[in-house]
């Protein structure tokens, strides 16, 4: 749905945005067991951005929970990303625990010396990079969906609001279907 920003209140936009976020969370919750039965987990990330804000303002906006209204001005967009990932193995969990202990030791060193030595900072960066790489490797599929987008054409500000979560629902159904087929093929081998 597209509407002039002047014809819709902040409260109305926020109500629709919250409704969409709740619908996405419900959709993910209702599908978790089906994916878990195949060895996968669903993760949801709801984000808010505004390309026209200063970096400090963007950080504040990103940290603002969806339950609170935003400044729905030109450049604003909110969206959800649903990611299907392999479950973490025991080895990965043990590795993450060891990395957390190592990071805690590095932080303790930083408190004592007020600055990390170069090699310690490099190790901290290596841990972060390895963790990011593992998370990417666990990812199997994802779908994204926008909730609200505000943009300006010439002198008119327009609000675009997603009508529903049909596309995200269809994507999850397709992902589940493909993963079930793959699980069936593995069982046949």
Continuous segment of H or E residues that includes residue 111: helix 90-113
Residue 35 has phi, psi (to 5 degrees) of -75, -40
Both structure tokens of 135:
């998370």
DSSP letters along 38-64, please? TTEEEEEEEEEEETTS-HHHHHHHHHS
Task: State the average pLDDT over residues 48-72.
Answer: 92
Distance CA 184, CA 189 (A): 9
Distance CA 77, CA 160 (A): 9
Greater confidence, 55 or 117? 55
For the segment 26-47, what is each residue's pLDDT rounded down to a tens digit?
999 999 999 999 999 999 999 9
Domain ranges of the chain: 2-88+139-188
Question: pTM of the prediction?
Answer: 0.80
- Strand-strand pairing, 156-161 and 139-153: antiparallel
């Amino acid at each position: 749905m597209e509407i002039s920003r002047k014809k819709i209140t902040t409260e109305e936009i926020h109500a629709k945005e919250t409704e969409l976020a709740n619908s996405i969370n419900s959709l993910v919750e209702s599908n978790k067991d089906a994916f878990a039965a195949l060895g996968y987990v669903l993760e949801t990330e709801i984000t808010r951005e505004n390309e026209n804000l200063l970096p400090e303002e963007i950080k504040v906006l990103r940290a603002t929970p969806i339950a609170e209204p935003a400044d729905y001005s030109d450049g604003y967009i909110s969206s959800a990303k649903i990611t299907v990932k392999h479950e973490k193995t025991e080895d990965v969990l043990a590795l993450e625990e060891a990395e957390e202990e190592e990071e805690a030791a590095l932080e303790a060193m930083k408190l004592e010396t007020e600055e990390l030595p170069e090699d310690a900072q490099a190790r901290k960066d290596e841990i972060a990079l390895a963790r990011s790489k593992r998370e990417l490797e666990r990812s199997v599929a994802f779908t994204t969906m926008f909730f609200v987008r505000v943009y300006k054409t010439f002198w008119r500000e327009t609000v675009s609001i997603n009508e529903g979560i049909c596309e995200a629902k269809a994507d999850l159904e397709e992902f589940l279907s493909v993963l079930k087929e793959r699980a069936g093929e593995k069982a046949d081998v």
